[in-house]
Structure 1
Amino acid sequence: MTTDRIGDGRIDPMTTGGPPTPSDYRPNAKYVLLLGLMCALPAVTSDIYLPSLPDVARDLGTTTTAVQLTMTGVLVGGAVGQLVVGPLSDRFGRRRPVLIGIALHIVISLLCAVAPGIGALIALRVAQGFFNAAATVVAIAVIRDRFVGSDASRLLSRLMLVIGVAPLFAPSVGGLIAGQWGWRAVFVALAVFGAVLWVVVWRRLPETLPPERRRGAGLRTALGGYGVLLRDQHFVAIAVLPGLGMAVLMSYVVGSPFVFQEGYGLSANQFALLFAMNGVALVGGAQINASLVRRVVPIRILRVALPLLFAVAVVLLVVILTGAGGLIGLLAVLWVMLGLIQFLPPNASAIALSRHGAMAGTAAAFIGAMQAGVAGVVSPLVGVLGGDARAMGLVMVGSTATALLVLALATPAYRRGGWLRL
C-alpha cells in the first residue's frame, strides 16, 4: 500500500490536511533550527559524553565494553521508544508526545548524574534513549506532514547542518565540563539543554497534524500500522539503510575515544579537536546532498553513493591493517567516509516516508527504530572484536557491504527502470 510517489517533491494536499502554502515549501531558518535541535537531542546526548568514557571506566571500575554499552544503550532505548512514540504521535498529534518525552529526558539526565554503578548507568541510558526518541520521531513526522520526495530529502539534509554541530562542539563542551567538575556534571548539562529545548518546543513548534487526520488509539491500531509497513518489502529494505549507515557512524563514535586516545595517545582536548574536524565532513556531506537532490532524485543518489561508501570502507580497513600513512592516512580516509555516510539516511528516509504519508508518525518511528536498533546491535561489535582500529574498520566494512547488498537484492534500484517503482 502506498499513498504517494516520489516525483518533484511537492506537497500532496490529501496527505497534509490542506492546500500548500509558501511557508510549507520554504521553511524559514528558525523552523529548520527547531527541528534540527529536536533531531540533535540524541546526538548531543551521545557526543557530549564521549571524552568521559575512559574516566567513567576508571571511576566505576568497569571494562571498555561495559562503558560502550552506555552509548549503545541510548540507541537500543531509542529504537524501542520510536516504535512506541510514532503511533502515539499519529493519535494525539505531534506536540504532546514530544513535550512529555523531553521532560522525562531532563529527569533521567539528572538520575544519570548520581548513578551508583555501571549497571544503573546503562539502564538509565536505555531509558534516556527511549524518551529522547520522541524528539526525533516528531521532527521527522512534521517534515513528512508537509513535504515529500526531493523536498523532504533536501530538508532532512539541511537538518544535518544543525545536527552536525553536535560533533563539532559537544565533545569539546563535554570535555571541558568533565575536566572542571567530573563526568557526572556532563549529565547535569544534558538536563539543562533538555530544559531549554522543552521551552523552545512548547513556544515554537506548531501542531502539523489536525484532529481529522489522526489515527485511532490502541494497540491493535499501532500493530495494524506496523503490519502495513512490514508487508511493503521495498519500504522495509529502504528503511534498513539508514540504520546500516548509522551503524558505520556509531562504530566510529564508540570506538574513536579508545582508538585515538589510547591507541594513538591523543589527549582529551586533541581528541575533541579531531572529532570536530570529522564533524565538518558530516556537515559538508549533508549540505552537498541537499544541493544535489535539487537536480537528482534520491534513489539515483543512493545507487552511486553506496558503492562508493563500501569502496572507501575497504580502503580504510587496508590503511588500518597496513599502517599506510600512519595517523594522517587513517584520518584522511575516515574523513572522506564520514562525508559519504551523509548521503544515506536523508535519501533513504525520504524514499521510505513517501510511500506511507497517511501514517507518517508510524513510518518515521519504524525508520528511526531501524536506524537506532541496527546501529545499537552492530556498533558494540567494535568492543567485542577488541575495541581497536582494526575492529572499527571491520565493522564499517561489514555494515557498508550489507547496505549495498540490501539495495541491490531487496529493491529494484539497480534493475533497468526499477528505481521508478520505489
Structure 2
Amino acid sequence: MSLPSTRDRLPSQPASPPPPGTARFPLWLTLLLGGLIAVGPFSTDLYLPAFPAIERDLHCAPGSVQITLSAWFVGLAIGQLSQGPLSDRFGRRAPLLAGTALYTLASIGCATASSLTALSIFRVLAAIGGSASMVIPRAMVRDIASGPAAARAMSRLTLVMGVVPIAAPALGGALLAFGSWRDLFWITVLYGALSLFAAWRLLPDTMPPSMRAGLAPMDMLERFVRILADRAFVTNALAGGFGGFVMFTYLAAGPMVFETLLGLSPRDYGIAFGLNAMGYIAATQANAALVHRLGLRRLLYLGTSLCLAGALGLALLAVLCDHHPPVIPVMGLCFVCIGSLGFVFSNAAAAALVPHPHQAGSASALMGTIQYALGAVAGALMSALSLHPALWPLAAMLCAGAFAMTASVRAAPV
C-alpha cells in the first residue's frame, strides 16, 4: 500500500498564521512527531537507575555520574541553539535527519565508553544530534497551528512522548537485573535508528522554501536579538526554562534520593518514576481539554502554584527529617511538583512562539537553549551537593526553581 502524498497528509501551508483552532493536525503526524521528541526524554531517563552501576564499573566517586547528565544538557543547549536556525534555513526535514543520524552514532560511543570522560563526551555529541528532534517537531507544530490550537497539539505530542518517560526508567531498572548498563545505551542506538528510518520514510517538510530565512551569522544574531527583545517571549521562555530546572533537578537527584536515601531498588525506582510521569501526562491532557475554556495564563498560574506548594512541602520534610524521610510523603510531593509541570511547558511554549510565526525554529531553539542550560546548571549543582544522601539539596533546588518559574509567569504580559 503506497503512502499518501504530502498534499493529502498535511493542510496547505498558509502565508500567515492560521486562526487559532482552525488548523487540522493529523493523528499520524502527532504520533510521529511525539516519537521523535521522545528521543530526548528516552535518552535522559533510561539510564537513571544505572547510575550506581556505572559508578562501580567505571570506578567513580559516589554522585560523579550525575556529570554525564549535565553533559547531556550542555549538548542539548548547544544543539538547540543551532538546530533552530538550520531548520529555518534548510526546512524541517533535512536537519532533523542529520541530527538523528549523529545521535545514533554517538550513542554507539556511549555504549562502548571505557571512562567517565569518554561517556560524558559522547553524551554531549548525542545531545547535539538529538536536539534536532526536540526543536524541529515543535517548530513544525507552529508551521501548522497557532495559539490554543498549538497548545492543544503540543499537549497531544506530550501524551505520545509521555509513554517513554513512564516506561524508560522501569525498562532500564528491569534490564539491569539481567545485563549491563551498556545494554541500555545499545537500546538508545536502536531507538535512534528506528527514528531515523521513520523520519526518512514518512516525514514531510512543513516549511516551504518561500518562508525560509537566511543563515548568515549576522542575520542569525539579528534574529535572536529581535526575539529576545520581545517581553512575551522572554518571560514565557524563562517560565519554561525554570520549569526545566525543576524537572532536571528531580532527574539528577532521583537515583541518590530514591535508591540511596529511601532504599528503593532500581526496579522500584523505575516504577516510582513512572508514577510521577503518569501524573505529568495526566496534567498535560487536562491542559489540552481546559485551555480553550480557561486560557493559557490561568493554567500557567495553576501549574506554578502547585509546583511551589509541592516544593515547599519537601522543604518542610527536609527540616523535620532530612536523613530519614518517610517514603510516601516524599513520593507524593514529588508527584505534585512534577505533575504540575504539565500545565506549564505546553502553555509557556505556545505563548512564547505565537508572536514569531516566521521564526518559529529560532524561537523554539532559544527556548530549548534556555531550558537545557538551566538543566545543566541543575545537574552540576546536584552533583556538587549530593556527596552524602540527604533530602535538603533536592528540596532547596526545587524551591528555587519553583519560585523563579512563578516570578517569570507573573512578569509576563497579559
Counterpart of 2:395? 393
Q: How many residues are treated as equivalent by the alignment? A: 399
Q: What CA distance in whole angstroms lies between the structure 1 residues aligned with 2:238 and 2:37?
A: 19
**SS at 2:204 equivalent:** coil
Give the drift of 1:126.
1.2
**SS at 2:112 equivalent:** coil
Counterpart of 1:47? 45
Superposed CA deviations along residues 199-234 of structure 1, whole A, max 9, x for unmatched, are: 111122111000111111221221121011122233
Asked whether the 8 Å contact 1:76–1:372 carries over to 2, the reply is yes
**SS at 2:38 equivalent:** helix
Counterpart of 1:80? 78
Q: What CA distance in whole angstroms lies between the structure 2 residues aligned with 1:129 and 1:198?
A: 15
**Residue of structure 2 aligned with 1:295, choices 287, 293, 296:** 293
Give the drift of 1:325.
7.8
- Superposition RMSD in Å: 2.0
After superposition, residues 248-263 of structure 1 pair within 5 angstroms as 248-263=246-261
Give the drift of 1:127.
1.3
After superposition, residues 315-334 of structure 1 pair within 5 angstroms as 315-323=313-321, 326-334=326-334
Give the drift of 1:12.
9.6
Letter in 1 for 2:220: A
Superposed CA deviations along residues 274-300 of structure 1, whole A, max 9, x for unmatched, are: 111111111111111111112122122
Cα distance, 1:312–1:175 mapped onto 2, change above 3 Å:
closer
Asked whether the 8 Å contact 2:147–2:351 carries over to 1, the reply is yes
Counterpart of 2:16? 15
Q: What CA distance in whole angstroms lies between the structure 1 residues aligned with 2:103 and 2:229?
A: 33
**SS at 2:343 equivalent:** coil
The two structures have a TM-score, normalised by structure 2, of 0.92
**SS at 1:72 equivalent:** helix
After superposition, residues 87-106 of structure 1 pair within 5 angstroms as 87-106=85-104
Counterpart of 1:70? 68
After superposition, residues 309-320 of structure 1 pair within 5 angstroms as 309-320=307-318
Counterpart of 2:5? none
Letter in 2 for 1:369: T
Task: Specify every segment of 5 or more residues in structure 1 that has no aligned partner in the other structure, as ranges.
Answer: 1-10, 413-418
Q: What CA distance in whole angstroms lies between the structure 2 residues aligned with 1:314 and 1:185?
A: 38
The two structures have a TM-score, normalised by structure 1, of 0.90
Give the drift of 1:378.
2.4
Counterpart of 2:4? none
Letter in 2 for 1:255: A
Superposed CA deviations along residues 244-264 of structure 1, whole A, max 9, x for unmatched, are: 111111111111111111111
Q: What CA distance in whole angstroms lies between the structure 2 residues aligned with 1:280 and 1:411?
A: 29
**Residue of structure 2 aligned with 1:404, choices 392, 403, 406:** 406
Task: Specify every segment of 5 or more residues in structure 2 that has no aligned partner in the other structure, as ranges.
Answer: 1-11
**SS at 1:355 equivalent:** coil
Task: State the identity %.
Answer: 34
Counterpart of 1:8? none
Residue range with higher mean Cα deviation, 65-74 or 75-84? 65-74
Give the drift of 1:26.
3.1
**Residue of structure 2 aligned with 1:247, choices 245, 248, 252:** 245
**SS at 1:113 equivalent:** helix
After superposition, residues 107-146 of structure 1 pair within 5 angstroms as 107-146=105-144
Counterpart of 1:273? 271
Superposed CA deviations along residues 133-169 of structure 1, whole A, max 9, x for unmatched, are: 1011110000010111111111111111122212211
Letter in 1 for 2:114: P
**SS at 1:15 equivalent:** coil
Cα distance, 1:327–1:176 mapped onto 2, change above 3 Å:
closer
Asked whether the 8 Å contact 2:106–2:122 carries over to 1, the reply is yes
Asked whether the 8 Å contact 2:66–2:379 carries over to 1, the reply is no
Asked whether the 8 Å contact 1:56–1:67 carries over to 2, the reply is yes
Counterpart of 1:4? none
**SS at 2:138 equivalent:** helix
Counterpart of 2:360? 360
Letter in 1 for 2:392: R
